[in-house]
Structure 1
Amino acid sequence: MTRPTSTETTTDDVSVQTVKALRAAMERLLAGRPTCTDGRLVKENLYREAGVSRATMNRAHSILAEWDRRTAATDARTPGEARRDDELHELRVEVKNLKRERTQLQGRLDASATVIAALHHDNAALRDELKGCRTVVALDGHRAARTDVIGPC
């Protein structure tokens, strides 16, 4: 096997064509536009996306250093994963707020049920008290008879 001449190699002992392929693959992966991988920001996807062997990629030390630096800044997440994680975070915050609101509403409901039960008990006691009294006098008839004395209402 012959080695490429010095005009065809870079300082990492890989061809210029390999460097270009790795850089193009890196840009596609970081932009979230992979062509032949699942888009995860892992080295396996880098060399597969570039169409080179793992051994060839491993000889491109400057490319790997750049890859490590750039993927560290993205937490090794694709743009789609980052959007998904952001949306998941927002949904978790919303669920937390809804749980708090539900707890407050449940407290109001419990307090209302207690008041209604007390009013029902008082109403039942008043009805029992009225059963022991004489007949109930309608006030409308009583008022109509007294309009001449007091005057119209």
Structure 2
Amino acid sequence: MNRATAVLTDWNNRVNQSTASKHDQAQVAEITRLRSQLRNNRRERQRLQDEVDAAATVVAALAAENAALREQAAHRAAVVIPLNRAHSTQD
């Protein structure tokens, strides 16, 4: 029985140092790195989407304000304001 423990330990050491094991370890490390990169990219995409949404909100507000000002200016131009005769004769 004591020999079995030593044999199993030796077996595990050799398996961990095998080419297939090293390949698996490299693959696990690469997958971990890619998952981390994906998380970071998703966070960055969300931050950029928030910026785009904020900019779109500002553009929509400015467009609405611009349309209101144009309409106000159009109605103002149609109003005739009489000149004060006393003021016009002094010039």
TM-score, L = length of structure 1: 0.42
Amino acid corresponding to residue 53 of structure 2 in structure 1: D
Structure 1 runs of 4+ aligned residues shifted over 4 Å read none
> What is the correspondence of 1:64-143 to structure 2 with a 5 Å cutoff?
64-68=8-12, 70=13, 74=16, 78-134=21-77
- Structure 2: distance between partners of 1:125 and 1:71: 79
- Flag structure 1 segments of 5+ consecutive residues without an equivalent: 1-59, 136-153
Percent identity for Structure 1 against Structure 2? 33
SS in 2 for 1:132: helix
Q: Higher helix fraction: Structure 1 or Structure 2?
A: 2
| RMSD of Structure 2 on Structure 1 (CA) | 2.5
Paired residues, what number?
73
2:9 is matched by which residue type in structure 1? Answer: A
CA offsets 1:90-141 (integer angstroms, 9 cap, x no match): 1000000001001111111111111011000001001101111338xxxxxx
* Bigger radius of gyration among the two: 1
Using CA pairs under 8 Å that are at least 6 residues apart, name the structure with larger relative contact order, 1 or 2: 1
Shift of 1:71: 5.7
Unmatched segments (≥5 aa) in structure 2? 79-91
Counterpart of 1:119, as a letter, is L
- What is the TM-score normalised by the length of structure 2? 0.68
C-alpha change, 1:66 and 1:130, in structure 2 (3 Å) is same
Cα distance in structure 1, aligned partners of 2:71 and 2:14: 79
